[in-house]
Copies of this chain bind each other. A is one copy, B any other.
Amino acid sequence: MEFSSKLLENAVNEVSQLPGIGKRTALRLMLHLLRQPENQTRQLSESLWKMREEINFCANCHNISDKKLCEICANPNRVEEIVCVVEDIRDVMAIENTSQYKGHYHVLGGKISPMDGMGPGELNIHSLVEKVKAGTVQELIFALSSTMEGDTTNFYIFKQIEPYNITTTTIARGISVGDELEYADEVTLGRSIVNRIPFETSLKNQ
């Protein structure tokens, strides 16, 4: 692409470095910004830079937070004996939306994936093991996605904390509520039969 303006070219190049945004989309977005009041671009530009520069991670669970401790870790009503291990803030938000969980979180910041250059050293695993070692944690819930990387990460953490003898659980895999059995994949359906639960328990959860 040949641009008639270096300013436009720079902006398009920077924006097209974002994942899923190519040069054409970037150009479309820039032309949109040029048609809007200057104010909008200033706010966009400032909010991006402010976020990147001032962002803070909770000292306890590594979630994104504006304070030293995030709201969940600082809340005395949350059960600190139960810790849910997740990949990033999106998983925290998804679980919080269910209003079903009252424990703490531990945000790893990714999964072990040598292909993407993510080793255990890049993740917040050390602090998790230290937390378990300290003795407060009684149950660790693994809530990573069930891919090879997720399973590897679960297993790696499990091996590290095995000596400390705490309960480890993983979220239930099964047929989504409201889904038809005939359209479910066989692995999920198979797991949902193997890990079936007492009917009385399911009644209570409704």
List A residues at the B interface (Cβ < 8 Å): 1-8, 10-11, 13-15, 17-21, 25, 27-34, 38, 40-56, 58, 63-66, 70-72, 88-90, 92-93, 96-97
B49 touches A45 (CB 8 A): yes
Q: A123 to nearest B CB, angstroms?
A: 12
User: Would you mind naming 25 contact pairs between A and B with Cβ atoms under 8 Å apart?
Assistant: A2-B96, A2-B97, A3-B93, A4-B64, A4-B65, A4-B70, A4-B93, A5-B56, A7-B47, A7-B50, A7-B66, A8-B51, A8-B55, A10-B50, A11-B48, A18-B32, A19-B32, A27-B90, A31-B90, A34-B64, A41-B52, A45-B45, A45-B48, A45-B49, A45-B52
Q: A3 to nearest B CB, angstroms?
A: 7
Q: A128 to nearest B CB, angstroms?
A: 19
How far apart are the CA atoms of A3 and B96 in the complex, in Å? 10
A15 touches B44 (CB 8 A): yes
> Which residue of chain B has the shortest Cβ distance to A37 in the bound complex?
B52
A42 touches B34 (CB 8 A): no
A14 touches B44 (CB 8 A): yes
B17 touches A40 (CB 8 A): yes
Complex partner residue of A52 from B1, B4, B38, CB under 8 angstroms? B38
Q: A15 to nearest B CB, angstroms?
A: 7
Residues of B within 8 A of A38 (CB): 52-53
Residues of B within 8 A of A54 (CB): 7
Most buried by B among A28, A38, A40, A52: A52
Contacts A44-B48, A48-B41, A53-B38 known; A31 to B89 CB distance under 8 Å? Answer: yes
